[in-house]
Amino acid sequence: MVTGNAFDRLNEDMLSEYLFLNPEKATMLGLHEPYDYQMPHCGPEHIEKNLIFLENWSTAAHRAASRHRLTLDQSLSLEALDMAVDRARFFTKSYPIWRMNPDCLSAMGPMLLHMATSEYAPIAKRLDGVSWRLSRLPQYLSEFRTRFDRHPSVELWTDDAITACERFPKFVDVIERTARERIPDRFLTQLKRSKSIAEDALDQHLEWLRDMRRDSIAEFAMGTARFEKLLKLRRIGMDKAQMLKFGEDGYRSWLDEREKLARRLTPKGDVHSAARLLESHSPRRFEEVLKAAEAEAQSARSFVEIGGFATVPPKGRFTTSETPDFMAPLLPYGNLYMASKFDRGLYATYYFTRPKTRAELRAYYCHSSIVTMMGHSAYPGHFLQRCVAKERPWMFLLPEFAGSDILTYGWSFDAAEAWACSASALMYDKGYKPNDEVHLQIIVARLMYYLGATIDVKLCCGETTIEEYVDEYVEATGLSRAGAVSEIKWMAREPGTFLSFATGLHQFKELREEVSGSMGKSFDERRFNDEFMRHADLPMALARKGVLANMMGTAGPSKRIKQG
């Protein structure tokens, strides 16, 4: 048998065809020519065409694999493709979210933001692509509306879509302000013309959304049968009842840990007094939050480099910025945006959302929170993992970006989140700022993950409402009521995604114990951490296979999460 070079060539060819169908995904992957001057068809026929294409891709890839000896990475890539097909079928046929959620702008905005702020070309070139796409927004929105010709939208998601549409012109204003004095007049004139075209289209789209709102339905749950199918497709290793027990048991366990630590932190020994103590150690102004977070990221990077428990690539630039206004309703605290797979360079920006009050600033961005936030998002968390995995196979990302249109969210997050959710505790255990305030933040994050998993299960199965868990979520996390509502609405917008935090965290711990227990004194922590980061673009079940194969010479059987 020959090597798998033909397998790689096939997949490169198929990717090119896929991105021709989905040029917006090419942009988000960091492939800009010629895709930044193309728009996808957004009607229902496009969804079906994508599914058929992926199924044909899988058939061709398996045929090629049968004729070649595949490497471990190629075998994992083939499995990732199969999981992408499973995802496409589920979200196209079983749970067709594409004709339930009328929000196409919350994803369009970040794509245009990526074009405006990434460093792949001179700013005039980047903004020319943004201008071109804005000028085609009328056709894009018109095609999108045909998805709902005979289908009502979900009320909750329609409200989000209305908010996004109302705020989108402010985002376009930000782009125009950015362009002034930075691009030639001819580009600026065209951008203003495109902006006017887009604003007219947005007015028409907003009127349509408000009409849809009047006939929208409250129900969005997928139900128990489809939820259990989703768990199987994700290879989580639990059914719904086991998933609920896992979330509830983990939540109770971390509640006990929080109570013990609160008694040590304050004279009163109660959770609320401990929270007030943390809030008293906060930056005074929002601008100080941005500076403190950027400094914290660099401090954490230096600690990881000196500690030697994970590889830190020499290049990598991490910055902070305020969340653009149009994105703020969807990101009540902030979010991380990193260089894409094919972008040149290693860079990331964490966008912090400006709190409305001084009290919210203290609650969201106290110093201990900034420490754990940067551990999770920068070093040694998401950004370091993405840097380490930069040159790994692009097919590892297929379950995340392939198989749906711009709306449907990925569900390969569990391995990447497993690493990021473990990162702050790893730093704490290594002696990085090991004070009780940081420890309490780590525990509060665990409470959020496990309670969130429980809420996610029940929302997916139609067994709870957003309002039912708000008070408990406030009590567990210390968020404001508005913040808790926003978090739970996020779970409802991305059904099944929040499970990734708790399940990934737990499976990562079990994998480390399995490898270290089997290898004994020969276990190398740095090698294990590096191997996991190299495979963390994959879903957790496949990341586990890759780590075991490279560390121990075996992929091992699929592992079920232990109960209790």
Per-residue pLDDT of the chain (564 residues; tens, 9 = 90+): 344 589 999 999 999 999 999 998 999 888 998 999 999 888 999 999 999 999 999 999 999 999 988 999 999 999 999 999 999 999 999 999 999 999 988 778 878 888 887 878 888 888 999 999 999 999 999 999 999 998 999 999 999 999 989 989 988 888 888 788 778 888 889 999 999 999 999 999 999 999 999 999 999 999 999 999 999 999 999 999 999 999 999 999 999 999 999 999 988 878 889 989 999 999 999 999 999 999 999 999 999 999 999 999 988 899 999 987 766 766 777 888 888 889 888 899 999 999 888 988 998 899 999 999 999 999 999 999 999 999 999 999 998 887 555 444 444 578 999 999 999 999 999 999 999 999 999 999 999 999 999 999 999 999 999 999 999 999 888 888 888 898 899 899 888 888 989 999 999 999 999 999 999 999 999 999 999 999 999 999 999 999 999 998 865 544 444 443
3-state secondary structure of 516: helix
How far is residue 398's CA from residue 429's CA, in Å, rounded to a whole number?
Answer: 34
- The span from the first CA to the last CA of the chain, in angstroms, equals 47
From the CB of residue 13, how many other CB atoms can be counted at a distance below 10 Å? 12
Degrees (nearest 5) of the Cα angle 428, 430, 436?
30
Contact 487, 332 (CB under 8 A): yes
Write out the H or E segment, with its range, that includes residue 432.
none
CA neighbours closer than 13 Å in the CB half-sphere of residue 139? 10
Phi, psi dihedral angles at 318 (to 5 degrees): -115, 125
**β strands within 431-544, DSSP E:** none
The pLDDT, as a whole number, for residue 41 is: 85
CA neighbours closer than 13 Å in the CB half-sphere of residue 475? 9
The pLDDT, as a whole number, for residue 329 is: 66
Supply the angle between the helices 525-535 and 413-429 in degrees, to the nearest 10. 150
**β strands within 21-175, DSSP E:** 68-69
Contacts of 522 (CB under 8 A, 6+ apart): none
Proportion of the chain in helix, strand, coil states, percent, rounded to 5: 70, 5, 25
Contact 495, 519 (CB under 8 A): no
